Amino acid sequence: MRNSEEAEGFHGEASNTSMISGASSPYQPTTEPVHSRNVLGGIRCDFEYLKSHFGILKAVEVALALIAFICIETIMLCLPCGGVYFFEFVSCSAFVVTGVLLLIFSLSLHTKVPHVNWSLTDLVNTAASTVFFFLASVVLAALNHKSGAEIAAVVFGFLVTCVYAVNTFLAVKRWRMGDGRSVAVQTSEYMRARTASRGEMEARPDLA
């Protein structure tokens, strides 16, 4: 009987101790529901971006690159074919990459990956597309057989080159403004940290 009473007392004390320790513990379980991180949960169409200069330029670039690619694909005979193949590669690559970026920006997917510098990514794409489309158009204009498809491809190649050049100019301005703003923020944070640390050193009494 004594053993059972001692066991009951031991269990009671243990339960009371666990309740007291649980109540005084700073690590209390939260009652808030834990939401799973759904990256694709906040997808929405950003109409403001589509109405902006960058959105309109992106849409025009995708359309002109697609038309230029279709024109070059309608060429049946070519000799030499180096200019045709180069223009085909450039127009297809620009259409795919710019189309993907347009989809990312218009659906606000870039906000899901904030550690990527999207302004710099857009700048690199537009600058590279400008250079390669210009080179491909010049080469195709020099090496062609005066067919309607080749002339149309050259015309649309130079048109999309101009659009990419305008987009590159605007992207450079945006990137410089963003870079200068980030430098200013870092400088202000550094000065604030130095002022706080200096105040702590002045407030600390001398040990000597």
The confidence score (pLDDT) of residue 57 equals 94
State pTM to two decimals: 0.64
Decide: 109 and 41 in contact? Cβ < 8 Å.
Answer: no
Residue 44 pLDDT: 78
Residue 98 token pair: 């710019």
Which of 185, 129, 160, 154 lies closest to 57 in space, CA to CA? 160
Query: Nearest 5°: CA angle at 18, between 16 and 21?
Result: 110
Residue type, 128: A
Query: In this predicted structure, what is the pLDDT of residue 103?
Result: 92
pLDDT, one tens digit for every residue, the chain (208 residues): 445 554 444 454 444 444 444 444 444 555 444 444 444 556 778 888 888 889 999 999 999 999 999 999 988 877 778 888 999 999 999 999 999 999 999 988 888 888 888 888 899 999 999 999 999 999 999 887 778 888 999 999 999 999 999 999 999 988 888 754 543 444 454 455 555 555 555 555 554 4
Most distant CA atoms of the chain, gap in Å: 111
CA distance 161 to 134: 6
